[in-house]
Chain A
């Protein structure tokens, strides 16, 4: 039987969505993820779709248990995100959401590295429109930086794939050795997409600049594709434990002093990704189950938190903690949903984070990593502090900002309600999620010890917050920018490039005629493509994106034949 790839239903189905109008369009874009999900669900386990192109066997569909979990949650996310975005009249954003979700699903179902690469790149190129759609100079610049980082990651991946294919003779996407040159480059490429420390700034820079719906959409896919890729290729690589620990620990300090509440959530996202990366690094069955389960739960509660902040931004036009407060009076439902998301990310018993994060903690403890376990415990207390308390507190409570606005639109409330129900459902009936996981395990989250110790940790963290606020020790929300690793390319890096350009201009006079002519023509070409009116500096039509992907694929094929 021909097994149609569910990803194609979303990607190809997204195109007619631009033409439709009114309620028909709403129904159509809501139905697409449902159809695609049904197709995924009816595919028998172990389904494969292969086709040969220029002597190379591409496995565009390879359904194993791990890819199934990720494909399922990506579908649920796609449906919720489309529902959330129904209020907007920006059709491009909804189309891009469907394409981007389709690419993410295609990537986790990919059986070979080339297919993976194509979906990764297509996801990067489509998702940048969610940032640019905000149509501000800041979002344009942030989108550019985002795209540059994504393309660098793509090039690393491509080079890594070429080296890996040359040394191993296979392009199959499976466990790899990060010690080989090809493996190392692929590891790094995934690391950028997964926001490893020092490579993380594209995320905190660009996500908060996206549109109201764009940030929610972005939060679901790219980084979790990277987690899936790491789990498939590099499970049990010990360095991932230490990388993951850094990811859980350092962003929470930034989250405490950050003013933009959506940026606080991106920092807390890196913290949550850190847990998953630690799970991949441990690599036992329990740990990998924990990673998959936590990614599943994380997509839902993170989307819910971003949705509530998006609703606040939509209704008030503000997102800085220093400008908000007291909104529970105007947006009681949004506030309630936000608190459910906050309880889930903080891993309160009966909420989703409680039944998933603990699997990773347990796996770390069973392998005897004492220090790692203590860091994760610190990060767990920290995440409650900034995501669990800070976000709802500064947006909906704290001092009354005097803002009175309308409650979020009905479609947004529906999306938030559904996400909230799922967060609680997973928390109350964890076995439903556990049944989807790649490995058979008898893990039991609800034990007296686990519930009590977790409640102690959380309530005493809340006590610390209350005490600090009442003592006046809590740092106030301030309008500011906090320096992070992006400083290196946004200040000295920029100065270096500008300086180099200036020396080229002055040095030009002393250059020989042929050099002058050469640099002039190169400059013109650069300017033509990358300058203010340049083709490559403009928003790209989808056609040119496909062209470039095809071009890269062609270049790869030539390399493949030459070597």
Chain B
């Protein structure tokens, strides 16, 4: 089949790398944007440099690593309840 041989743009690791670098540069640009406008903050800590950026990053890393540890406690066999 012709379809099988078709290589998609995302199949190439070089293109995936391009996407990842695109994300890195977008993040850097967003971080720098903090210098160029006046924030309307409800809380004083919102004015810390890049507060939302590092909050988002740390929150997600903590979420995933904690959830990974949680598996030790709650993960069971797929047929644990005997109904699969």
Q: Name the one of A252, A449, A460, A480 contacting B57, with C-beta atoms under 8 angstroms.
A: A460
A309 to chain B: closest CB distance in Å?
A: 19
Q: Which residues of the partner chain B approach A362 to less than 8 Å between Cβ atoms?
A: 42
Bound CA span A37–B66, Å: 46
B14: Cβ under 8 A from any A Cβ: no
For A, the interface residue count at a CB cutoff of 8 angstroms equals 56
Interface centre among A397, A455, A491 (most CB of B within 10 A): A455
A468: Cβ under 8 A from any B Cβ: yes
Could you tell me if B39 and A453 are in contact, using CB atoms closer than 8 angstroms?
A: yes
Could you tell me if B83 and A460 are in contact, using CB atoms closer than 8 angstroms?
A: no
Bound CA span A473–B63, Å: 12
B-binding segment of A92-100, A238-246, A482-490: A482-490
A179: Cβ under 8 A from any B Cβ: no
Q: Which residues of the partner chain A approach B61 to less than 8 Å between Cβ atoms?
A: 464, 467-468
For B, the interface residue count at a CB cutoff of 8 angstroms equals 51
Could you tell me if B81 and A461 are in contact, using CB atoms closer than 8 angstroms?
A: no
B-binding segment of A193-201, A283-291, A370-378, A545-553: A370-378
Could you tell me if A483 and B24 are in contact, using CB atoms closer than 8 angstroms?
A: no
B5: Cβ under 8 A from any A Cβ: no
Q: Name the one of A137, A141, A257, A457 contacting B70, with C-beta atoms under 8 angstroms.
A: A257
A312-343 vs B, CB cutoff 8 Å, 1 = contact: the mask equals 00000000000000001100000000000000
A299-313: which residues lie under 8 A (CB-CB) from chain B? Answer: none
Q: A463-B57, A483-B74 are in contact. Are A385 and B52 (CB under 8 A)?
A: no
A436-465 vs B, CB cutoff 8 Å, 1 = contact: the mask equals 000000000001110011111111111111
Could you tell me if A475 and B71 are in contact, using CB atoms closer than 8 angstroms?
A: yes
B30 to chain A: closest CB distance in Å?
A: 5
Could you tell me if B53 and A460 are in contact, using CB atoms closer than 8 angstroms?
A: yes
Q: Which residues of the partner chain B approach A138 to less than 8 Å between Cβ atoms?
A: 83-84
B1-40: which residues lie under 8 A (CB-CB) from chain A? Answer: 3, 8, 10-11, 20, 23-24, 26-27, 30-31, 33-34, 37, 39-40
A479: Cβ under 8 A from any B Cβ: yes
Could you tell me if B52 and A454 are in contact, using CB atoms closer than 8 angstroms?
A: yes
A474: Cβ under 8 A from any B Cβ: yes
Bound CA span A373–B43, Å: 10
A14: Cβ under 8 A from any B Cβ: no
Could you tell me if B8 and A329 are in contact, using CB atoms closer than 8 angstroms?
A: yes
Could you tell me if B68 and A475 are in contact, using CB atoms closer than 8 angstroms?
A: yes
The 3 closest A-B pairs by CB, nearest first: A464-B60, A365-B42, A256-B67
Q: List 28 A-B contacts (CB under 8 A).
A: A253-B66, A256-B63, A366-B42, A381-B56, A381-B63, A448-B37, A449-B37, A449-B41, A453-B39, A456-B33, A456-B53, A459-B27, A459-B56, A460-B52, A460-B54, A460-B57, A461-B60, A464-B56, A464-B60, A464-B61, A465-B64, A466-B23, A468-B60, A473-B68, A480-B77, A481-B77, A481-B79, A481-B80
